Amino acid sequence: MAYVTVKAADGGSFQAYHAAPAGGGKAPGIVLIQEIFGVNKVMRDQADAYAAEGYHVLCPDVFWRIEPGIDITDQSQAEWDRAFALFNAFDVDKGVEDLKAALAHLRTMDGCSGKAGSVGYCLGGKLAYLMATRSDADCTVSYYGVGLDDLLGESSNITKPYLNHMASEDGFVPKEAQAKIKAGLADNPQVTLHVYDGQDHAFARQGGAHYDAAAAKTANARTTDFFKTHLG
């Protein structure tokens, strides 16, 4: 496991954590999109877990334009304050362009078959939705994406499989927003949306305040099956 350098479309470059599958031969790829805490141990461990399932995984540093190398946790108020400051300073559109650059880079890496999807959590869940609407990813997964209700005008651009994991009690996605998302995505045959009753934001983040092992297991199994179906 190592870091690779990705060139941004508008100049400059950024780092991405690379986790490779064991063994030789070609394997599909996954762009793993970080939460608001940077490419931290949670994201690196998640990348390693997807690699163990047989994928080349890139987890790009999407905060590089603000400050490269952010690596914080959700374990202190100071870190939460820092994370929200980064979130508020983040340029979503440029972030999506950087993720598209990471996707293109991944497809050309040694051992990658060329098929590649993306998956994101929290802020990454929002960016994953935008990868579904703006990129040529072969499939995409969002875990508890924030702010999707303001982006539903792009939903008709989803032409490849998209899986959305929604927490019914998400403190960052109010019930009204959840209803808009459900209604806005309901008519797109490429969209599969699962609601996890009683779960709060980041229910799949191990060690997090709202982690729920049973719900995480269900969501992760669905994601595993989804990637096997559309990237295998």
Q: What is the CATH number of the domain that holds 150?
A: 3.40.50.1820
> Which position has the token pair 């899986």?
163
Quote the CA–CA distance of 60 and 17 in Å, as a whole number. Answer: 6
The DSSP 8-state label assigned to residue 198 in this structure reads T
Which one of the listed residues 18, 105, 165, 201 is annotated catalytic?
201
Range of 103's domain?
Answer: 2-231
* Per-residue tokens: 218: 């269900």
Query: pTM (2 decimals)?
Result: 0.97
Phi first, then psi: give them for residue 220, nearest 5 degrees.
-65, -35
The reply to whether 170 belongs to the active site is yes
Tell me, what's the pLDDT at 232? 83
The DSSP 8-state label assigned to residue 180 in this structure reads H
E strands of 20-161, at which residues?
27-33, 56-60, 112-121, 140-143
Q: Which helix (H) or strand (E) holds 164?
A: strand 162-167
Which one of the listed residues 138, 170, 200, 212 is annotated catalytic?
170
**In tens digits, what is the pLDDT along the chain, a chain of 232 residues?**
699 999 999 999 999 999 999 887 799 999 999 999 999 999 999 999 999 999 999 999 999 999 999 999 999 999 999 999 999 999 999 999 999 999 999 999 999 999 999 999 999 999 999 999 999 999 999 999 999 999 999 999 999 999 999 999 999 999 999 999 999 999 999 999 999 999 999 999 988 899 999 999 999 999 999 999 999 8
The total domain count for the chain is 1
Tell me, what's the pLDDT at 36? 96
